Structure 1
């Protein structure tokens, strides 16, 4: 996995202006002085983590565009679809190629045809900008408008299975309770894809 690691060091420096009237105190024998510095390590995980030969893009090889979440007054919600395309990728050059079409050769990569594409999607995580408790809210993931289970392999063999559409809605009996006006709710999930190439 390629990671962007950012190292940040925060230190505090306090100094007194030195003038003819300012005298710095000498250290006193057998005393203890202390100092501290806060440091932090931040890892920004990319939205798309490409493989060696494949990667996700948005529609027409463009960027992946966020979907919109529609929350009703009764707490029920649904989303607009997010479009994904699974394309060939060269991890040495960063070049993005054509779609991974099951049954067709991957020209130029030394790979024989893709036999299957297996998708898997993680459980949807809902967060509130105003820290509204959404821990009891459950979302149903839909792939190409059909409900799918989280963390379960979805094996595809159709030639057009490299193009997928992902959306969510509230699970039956679940919704966002006590929605606060002006709040921003974010739903996040991760879509995984594995491609098995013929030998």
Structure 2
């Protein structure tokens, strides 16, 4: 099955998801190593989960895009879904972590949706646009991987051909009954006799 337009568009969107997330991903990778050195069972563990979850988004999205362009739909969907899930887990952990340090719920959600102050344009794109783009890409790649009716028929015909299946042949036409040429009907008994006969062999009727 050839690569469908939905899959190609999904791959392009995954590339954008990787670009949007790259700046924050570098930051979260560094934060993850820093937090591992001072881990404690307070809000810092939530920040560790948030940073560790966000870090692989860029790589996951780019590799997923490559598989989409190679028409490896299942792998592309898995990686695209993983990028979306990583963002979602990171956002939840980050929001809960902010709530534990007396940040209001609205401010915490806004912090996740519109980006972190001081991160600039790419920092804002690392927020909700990354999630939206990766989610739409996942849906498009999934739709692009669904076989069409034509693909199903072609696949079935290919399978049957490999199994040695031959479609049923049309029944041969039945030969028509030979026409009775040179025959005539006896006016007495209505039997069919030869046209040149002068006497019926059934009733002895004699033709004039």
Higher relative contact order (CA 8 A, sep 6+): 2
TM-score tier (shorter): under 0.3
- In terms of fraction of residues, the more strand-rich structure is 1
TM-score, reference length from structure 1: 0.23
